[in-house]
Amino acid sequence: MDVAKVFRSFPMFQGLADDDVALLLPLARARAFARGDVIFREGDPPSHLWLIVRGLVKVVRRAGDRDLILEILGPKDTFGEVAVYDGIPYPATAVSAEPCTVLSIPRDDFFLALERQPGLARGLLRELTRHLRLVTHRLDELTKAGIDRRIALLLVRLAERIGQPREAGTFVPVALSRQDLAELVGTTVETAIRIMSRWSKQGLVLTEKSGFVIPDVAALAAVGEGEGRGQG
């Protein structure tokens, strides 16, 4: 693995000088996780900043007797940064959704690097701002958008971030159950089943064992806006 090249692929570290990257490289440790492995648990001390090199990570929170999925992250995403910056326990649990490779940077070492590298501090500020913007946007969706629109936006975001081109469209390699979909958009399992069944008949989303295919991402993005085939 070319760790220097990997570092530069993350928004937080883009724009760093070569000398700054050289200071960070010895801090990062590559770790491999199998599907279902817990990377950290809700309430654990914020010991590391995490960067996804390959694979998918689910961020979940305990609610009663089950876990609620808050987010699905993929390559070039960072996680744990808010807890690391604030010094608070991790607010949720991170679980590998498939075999994945991540880089971890110890919190104490990261803060020493921040003191020495103004460019890194600016990168962290950009990432925290992006995180806040995404959270605000998701809250806006959950409170204002209809269920069709919420599911469409979720699937489109996944397609844009981790989708793989196919002749039949864009394949998203994450197997989301209807329960997962319902939790991610704040609806019931029955509603998620009904919507996905309708979209399958319309050819908007085709579910496979290892993920799903979106034949036309633009058509799915139009759902809920009075356009495309998603209003039937």
Quote the pLDDT of residue 190.
93
- What's the whole-number average pLDDT of the chain? 83
Q: Which domains does the chain have, with CATH numbers?
A: 3-141 (2.60.120.10), 146-221 (1.10.10.10)
| 8 Å CB contact between 173 and 207 | no
Q: Counting Cβ atoms within 10 Å, is residue 76 exposed (0-12), middle (13-18) or buried (19+)?
A: middle
What pLDDT shows up at residue 23? 79
> In angstroms, how far is CA 95 from the centroid of its own chain?
12
- At residue 104, the pLDDT reads 95
User: What digits encode the pLDDT tens for the residues 109-142?
Assistant: 988 887 777 767 766 666 667 666 666 565 555 5
> Is the CA virtual torsion 141, 145, 151, 152 positive or negative?
negative
Helical ranges in the chain per DSSP H? 3-8, 18-24, 81-86, 107-116, 118-144, 147-162, 178-185, 189-202, 217-221
Nearest residue to 122 (alpha-carbon basis) of 22, 14, 23 = 14
Proportion of the chain in helix, strand, coil states, percent, rounded to 5: 45, 25, 30
Phi-psi region at 226: left, alpha or beta (left = phi > 0; alpha = psi -120 to 50): left
Nearest to 98 by CA among 56, 155, 140, 39: 56
Residue 135 identity:
V
Query: Is residue 170 pLDDT above 90, yes or no?
Result: yes
Report pLDDT for 227: 43
pLDDT band at 11 (very low <50, low <70, confident <90, very high): confident
Examine the pLDDT at 2 and tell me if it is beyond 50. yes
User: What's the rounded mean pLDDT across residues 41-70?
Assistant: 86
C-alpha torsion sign, points 198, 201, 202, 207: positive
Question: Which range has the worst mean pLDDT, 101-110, 164-173, 222-231?
Answer: 222-231
- Alpha-carbon distance of 60 to 66, in angstroms, equals 10
Tens-digit pLDDT profile for residues 65-74? 667 788 888 8
Using DSSP bridges, classify how beta strands 57-63 and 164-166 pair: parallel, antiparallel or unpaired: unpaired
Region 161-169: mean pLDDT is 87
Percent of the chain whose predicted confidence (pLDDT) is above 90: 33
Cβ atoms of residues 3 and 103 within 8 Å: yes
Distance from C-alpha of 53 to C-alpha of 102, rounded to nearest angstrom: 5
* CB distance 163 to 172 below 8 Å: yes
The pLDDT of residue 191 is above 80: yes
Residue of 212 and 22 predicted with greater confidence: 212
Kindly report the backbone phi and psi dihedral angles of residue 161, in degrees, each rounded to the nearest multiple of 5, phi listed first: -85, -40
Calpha distance 26→21 (Å, rounded): 9
